Amino acid sequence: MKLNEEERALLAGEGGRARQWAIRHQIEVGRFFDAEDMVEVDQAHVMADPESLGEAGVRWLSDMAGLPEAERRVRVPTITDPRGVDFAAYKRLHQTDEMATLEERAIRAFEAMGVLMTNTCINYQTILPPVRGEHVAFGDTGVVIYSNAVFGARSNFEGGPSAIAAGLTGRTPRYGYHLEKNRLGTKLFELRHQPKDFSEWGALGAVVGRGSGSYWAVPVITGVENAPTSDDLKHFGAALASFGSVAMFHMPGVTPEAPTLADAFDGPPPPASPITAEDIANVYEGYAARGDKVDVVVFSAPQLSLIELEKVANLLDGRRVHSGTTLIAATSPEIKFAADRMGLTRRIEASGGIVLSGVCFYQSYAREMAEANGWSRLMSNSAKLVNIIGGYGYKPTLATMERCVDSAVAGKVL
């Protein structure tokens, strides 16, 4: 890789041990992906849940945090993805003190390095949305696909070490979605059914993701009759990334880099694959379980916006979650503060629900919580969550937010 004078100095150790490790790591990643050089980034976003870090990861971070301040501090704004424990609620969920202690050690290490503990996968809705053409180093797949497609920013899926390295050096290897040539459409899908709610947008993401199936695929979706909301696109992108490992899409007339279909491709568009109401229904059918007892209803993955929390509160008003069912809504710390101030948290918890701050369900020791609470059947309106959570031993059901709340009140899948 071509290195400039500053990068060669970091490699020689002139920026200290942490930055020397970081640039070495980035050179190895860059060589693997045939990057020619580095590109400067304005923000980094780090996966920070101790379930992924483990004892070894937290010890490594703590060693880094023990270096002199000038060597260990990040150079660009560096923020965190959801963590694993909400300290205000972990005992209620039967998470352990050991989990909370590991979490506290990770937080102290990140803070010593100058990382902002934002604890959110909706930073593009709550912290600092990137802008078109801005290079960033983001870690969460839902964050990356939303930033690339909806804002026109540029990021690859950065693993945890790669994102913290980008924070320390202020750059990342220039490959993948930092390059114009990799942002053009590769597949075409034509909507013949308009999604009606968040879960249908997620189901659409599942259909397109299964039909794309590659990190290097850039699906183009036509036939969208009305502009989707930010929350619609959040559920669509998160599911698309989850089912297809996709990091970029175009929606002509909606997303900024392809105002028209002709702009989306380098040459004539390929034949379109139609997406019908039956395709969407088949996604739901794959997770059907009517009549089964429901142990836990989860609104998470991605974290909820204020608008989504208000909808949960409205659906629960005057009702009571069944004694055999737990209802969880997870959001970012900023949205939680707003929900507290506006009375939404009080309304949800008055009906027996739990509002969690700064965590995401599947990053919160989901398997251990299932064992400790006796949970098996899970319902959610998040297509991303139902795709992931089966790997943690759950039997998931995908449904609308309305049906999820009705089922939580009834104690069984309606």
Strand partners, 330: 356
Q: Is the dihedral of CA 11, 12, 16, 18 positive or negative?
A: positive
Q: Which of 180, 406, 148 is nearest to 397 (CA)?
A: 406
Asked if 117 contacts 74 with a C-beta cutoff of 8 angstroms, the reply is no
Residue found by looking up tokens 């660009």 in the block: 76
Predicted confidence (pLDDT) at residue 61 exceeds the cutoff of 90: yes
pLDDT digits (tens, 9 = 90+) for 353-402: 999 999 999 999 999 999 999 999 999 999 999 999 999 999 999 999 99
C-alpha–C-alpha distance, residues 178 and 171, integer Å: 12
What are the DSSP calls for 8-69, one per residue? HHHHTTTT-HHHHHHHHHHHHHHHHTT--SEEE-S-EEE---HHHHHHHHHHHHHHHHTS-H
| Domains 5-177 and 288-413 fall in the same CATH topology | yes
Confidence of residue 284 (pLDDT cuts 50, 70, 90): very high
Where are any strands of DSSP class E within 276-332?
Answer: 296-304, 326-331
Q: How far apart are CA 252 and CA 413, in angstroms?
A: 38
| Least confidently predicted of 28-32, 45-49, 87-91, 145-149 | 45-49
Tell which residue, 112, 103, 118, has the closest CA to residue 50.
103
pTM confidence score: 0.97
User: d(Cα 11, Cα 24) in Å, to the nearest integer?
Assistant: 7
For residue 213, pLDDT beyond 90: no
- Given a cut of 90, whether residue 94 has pLDDT beyond it is yes
Which are the contacts of 194, defined by CB distance < 8 A and separation ≥ 6?
224, 225, 226
Average pLDDT value over all residues in the chain: 97
Per-residue pLDDT tens for 2-54?
999 999 999 999 999 999 999 999 999 999 999 999 999 999 999 988 888 99
Identity at 245, one-letter amino acid code: S
Euclidean distance between CA atoms 243 and 385, whole angstroms: 11
Report the C-alpha dihedral over residues 283, 284, 287, 288, rounded to 10 degrees: -140
> What's the pLDDT at 92?
96
Contact 294, 408 (CB under 8 A): yes
Would you call 107 helix, strand, or coil by DSSP?
helix
What is the spatial distance between Cα 188 and Cα 239, in angstroms, rounded to a whole number?
18
Is the separation of the CB atoms in 360 and 343 below 8 Å? no
- Per-residue b or e along 308-318, where b marks 16 or more CB atoms closer than 10 Å to that residue's CB: bbbbbbebbee
Which residues fall within 8 angstroms of residue 281, CB to CB, at 6 or more apart?
Answer: none
Q: What are phi and psi for residue 137, nearest 5 degrees?
A: -125, 85
Q: Is the pLDDT of residue 288 over 90?
A: no
Rounded average pLDDT over 179-208:
98
173: cis peptide before it, omega within 30°?
A: no
Give me the residue spans of the domains in the chain: 5-177, 184-284, 288-413
Half-sphere exposure of 75 (CA within 13 A, CB side): 20
Which superfamily does CATH assign the domain made up of 288-413 to?
Aconitase, domain 3 (3.30.499.10)
Q: What is the CATH number of domain 5-177?
A: 3.30.499
pLDDT, tens digit, 9 for 90 and up, residues 315-355: 999 999 999 999 999 999 999 999 999 999 999 999 999 99
Burial (CB < 10 A; 0-12, 13-18, 19+), residue 55, is: exposed
SS3 sequence, 128-168? CCCCCCCECECCCHHHHHHHHHHHCCECCCCCHHHHHHHHH
Using one digit for the tens of pLDDT, what is the confidence trace for 64-80?
A: 999 999 999 999 999 99
Q: Which residues contact 273 (CB under 8 A, 6 or more apart)?
A: 187, 188, 189, 190, 211
Helices (H), 176-260: 198-212, 230-244
Helix axes 401-410, 306-316, angle to 10 degrees: 40
pLDDT of residue 290: 82
DSSP label of 229: P
